[in-house]
Amino acid sequence: MHFNVGWLALSLCTGSAGAEAGATPPARETILVRADHVIVRPGLVLEGAQVLVRDGRIVAVGTGLEAPEGARVVQGAWVCAGLIDPWSALGLAGDALAETNATPATRSVDGFDPYNMDHLRREALRAGVTSARVQLGSAARIGGLGTVVRLVPGLAREETIISDASNLWMTAGLTQSGPAQFVETGEGFTMVEGGRVQDPFERADSADRIVSALQAGKNYLIAKNEHRHELEDWAKKMAEKDVELDKEFKKAKKEREKGQKDAEEKDKKYEEKKYKEDKKPQPPRFDEDNEVLSNAIDGRLPLLVGAERSAEIRALLAGTAPHGRLRLVLAGGSEAVNHARELVERRIPVLVWPTPLGRSRPDEFESHDLSLAGRLSREGVQVLLGSGGRDPSATRDLPLLVGLAIAHGLSRDDALEAVTIGAARALDVADRLGSVEAGKDADLIVLDGPPLETTSHVLFTISSGRVVVTPEG
């Protein structure tokens, strides 16, 4: 009896210490989540349903599921997929955010510090945000490859990094509004580069530069494809020649022996007979940046472009129109409503940062129009919502930003889609994140009210099968 009490006290102690210090994340568990409403994905809600989680994955979603032996049972009113911040700065140092010398192949994942700002990440988890896309070079013409990460501090690298190349990031024109700002990271202040106020001439060609970079990628892709065809042709010709040589094998053998003999007599070196098929076609010179660009042009890598003004958006849309497979996502898009029809036709989503900065009525885009997301959505444009990728502490408040977008005209379903499955699809991680479906990673939040109502509280946050937030701490 005495032993039991002591053991209990010890286990309680370690439990709370783990939650406080967070040096090691809680272990993976088999979990049965019971809820009054399970939002499988926006628009599909199961009433009185359960979600079974095992080995970090969702193994079943439905009604009438029972808890297996030893499973942890977690209960709440609402369940939905963990929120994804597709435009975050959490985990990148200020110098990486302000990087301006990146090339397309520069990877944000290499600048990502899984130990950085863990208190902010814990606050984000508490708010229900479980993963985020982080991106270096938020103001750069070319920011390189973004990465999608889990926000749980202390996870192993392979569990933290969901995608090490979720997208290519570029900007056109003036994307950084406002002056340079100091961002409190909890460990001091980090300067995030502010507006590179470019002159109109510099702005004018910024979309063209993106287009010409893409063209370079296209040329590379063409060269690579040509090389592939040449290789195929060459292999075919080689095979034909083999057959031909096989036919005349005896004659050729005789000729060769004669030649060798002649050479011996004349004390010369015998030279083998050459065929034009011996020469193998050369591949184009490997270029890392063009590799990335060609992946983008081929639709294997989404291209996110930060652009605010109509002029740049128009130039960008015109310049990218010939590249049918390109998967473009517009970020910022203050004046994107003007191009709504084309955006709808080409299925280009817009990643909006609905922040309450500046005057309520925009006369220039440095003021943020909270109704942008709603207006785009009403025009039929797919909207994504993010925290702007500048202030690492803003990811915590993603639900508030989404709330502001809702208040200013975005429907709740569209809003939820924007920060779950919509974001996952746009960043090519929908096979793992974004909805509550069997087979996906177990990244869930359990709430006492509807998600995205700012009056609701997150009771539990589950990230890859680990209960990282509980009502107690």
Partner 1 sequence: MLSILLALAAAPALQNDGPLAIRAKAVWTGGGKVLENAVVIVDNGRIQAVGADVAIPDGAELIEHDGVLTAGLIALHGATGAVGETRDGTRPALPEGRVGLAVDARHLDFEALREAGITCILVTPDPAGITGGTTAVVKTAGHTVLRDPAHLSLVFSAEGLSGNTTPTSTSGALALMQNLFAEPRGVVAEARAGKLPCLFEVREREDVRRAIAFAKDKKLTGALHGAALAGEVAGDIKAAGLSVIVPALSIGTPKRTLDAVIRLQKEEIPLGFGLDTPWNHAEALRLSAVLCVRAGLDRQAAWEALTAGAARIAGVEARVGRIERGLDADLVLWSGDPLDLGSVAQTVLVGGKSVAQKESVR
The footprint of partner 1 (CB under 8 A) covers 43, 119, 123, 127, 183-184, 186, 355-361, 367-368, 370, 374, 377-378, 387, 391-394, 396-397, 400-404, 406-415, 452-455
Distance, in Å, from the CA atom of 136 to the CA atom of 46, rounded to the nearest integer, reads: 39
Looking only at the bridges linking them, the beta strands covering 31-41 and 189-192 are unpaired
If we measure between CA atoms, which residue out of 361, 309, 364, 315 comes closest to residue 336? 309
Nearer to partner 1, 52 or 398 (CB): 398
Nearer to partner 1, 142 or 192 (CB): 192
Distance, in Å, from the CA atom of 149 to the CA atom of 178, rounded to the nearest integer, reads: 28
Nearer to partner 1, 9 or 180 (CB): 180
Nearer to partner 1, 133 or 396 (CB): 396
Distance, in Å, from the CA atom of 388 to the CA atom of 352, rounded to the nearest integer, reads: 8
Nearer to partner 1, 80 or 394 (CB): 394
Least CB distance to partner 1 at residue 55 (A): 33
Least CB distance to partner 1 at residue 327 (A): 22
Which backbone phi and psi does 330 adopt, to 5 degrees? -95, 135
Least CB distance to partner 1 at residue 44 (A): 12
Structure tokens at 307: 């652009």
Distance, in Å, from the CA atom of 96 to the CA atom of 275, rounded to the nearest integer, reads: 55
Nearer to partner 1, 144 or 434 (CB): 434
Least CB distance to partner 1 at residue 418 (A): 13
Residues 6+ apart with CB under 8 A from 212: none
Say what angle helices 288-297 and 206-247 make with each other, to 10 degrees.
100
Nearer to partner 1, 317 or 452 (CB): 452
Least CB distance to partner 1 at residue 198 (A): 24
Distance, in Å, from the CA atom of 302 to the CA atom of 132, rounded to the nearest integer, reads: 16
Say what angle helices 206-247 and 249-265 make with each other, to 10 degrees.
90
Distance, in Å, from the CA atom of 376 to the CA atom of 351, rounded to the nearest integer, reads: 11
Least CB distance to partner 1 at residue 80 (A): 15
Structure tokens at 242: 């083999």
If we measure between CA atoms, which residue out of 434, 326, 328 comes closest to residue 382? 328
Which backbone phi and psi does 464 adopt, to 5 degrees? 40, 50
Torsion of CA 111, 126, 352, 316, to 10 degrees: 20
Least CB distance to partner 1 at residue 367 (A): 8
Nearer to partner 1, 339 or 368 (CB): 368
Nearer to partner 1, 92 or 316 (CB): 92
What are the Cα distances from residue 446, in Å, to 73, 80, 85, 420? 12, 7, 18, 14
Least CB distance to partner 1 at residue 182 (A): 12
Structure tokens at 248: 């005349």
Least CB distance to partner 1 at residue 425 (A): 16
Mapped onto helix, strand or coil, the DSSP state of residue 345 is helix
